[in-house]
Structure 1
Amino acid sequence: MASLATNFFTERLKEALRLISRSETEALAQVWVPILSQDNKIILTTQEQPYSVMHSKFDLLRYRTLSTAYVFPSEKTSDSTSASHLGLPGRVFSSRAPEWTPNVQFYDSSEYLRIREAARCDVKGLVAVPVLDPSSRSCLAVIELVTNVEKVEFGNEIGIICSALQVRVDLSCVLVLFVF
């Protein structure tokens, strides 16, 4: 499988993760990038990609390791493929919009394909944010932030991720307006 990411892009993502990890406590931040599969389809993987585990939480490190075994389609490939079968990284990549949940364990296995792994590792709250090219607005990657804490509001985390991408590494993301 051929990576579509350049070394320069990977270094920019590593810098963004360093900035994110300074702001977050007890979370896993991992990057999903598109690669070309052996059958010439673009899929998303986190294998051999940058990640950061704040405070070296064992269960989040284990979840990271388990996540590397997964790949997700980057887009719907047929009418029979529902958006849920894209998995969380695929849905965020194809929609170019963030997705978050207070507790991923409320999902069923068709909505969150890593649900068994999430339960084994006590994963609860998560947010995934698309990494966008600032000029073309095409999606280049997805940053996923995973916690063991049930969390209703991820506005601060989305802001931290977007700030890390925009200010320091000249990438972009989608800011979300929260209305209460």
Structure 2
Amino acid sequence: MTDEAPHGSDIARRALEEARAAAKAAGKQVGRGMASPMTGGVRRLRSGSRKWSGPGPDNRDPQRFGTLITGIAKARGWDTKVGEGTVLGCWDSVVGPDVAEHAHATGLREKTLYVSAESTAWATQLRLMQAQLLAKINAAVGQGVVTRLQITGPAAPSWRKGERHVPGRGPRDTYG
């Protein structure tokens, strides 16, 4: 009697049997021909069903990769995080090249998108366009991912240099 190491198929079969036993113990139905929620709930063909795809779309036809990934993200509850990543990662394509040339998204916290403009004039213009920007963002990533924009211009220079400084408002009449 030789003691051989189990093959990969034996390990997989044993793991499947253990998973089925655990599902039965939890009160779930096992082996009913339903696919996982990641595949969009596609049913398997019964033995009496047709064996060909035919001219119309069928569950067995190839699916677009983006559609499959979107289904997986929704099934696992990741769609909000994917939307957040889309806003920050694809800022140029979401708002357009004109706006992206003069402003960039710096962060997204609690459904508020923080946008930094290159000048105060662009910050003012973006504040006036806020409704259109929110509409573009919601069309690209879905409703509810971004509900508010916080637009800021460039930061003013600080007069507080070094460890020791004089308290007060700083110099005012030094430019002549």
Bigger strand fraction: 1
Bigger Rg, which one:
2
Question: Could you say which TM-score interval applies, normalised by the shorter chain?
Answer: under 0.3
TM-score (norm 2): 0.23
Higher relative contact order (CA 8 A, sep 6+): 1
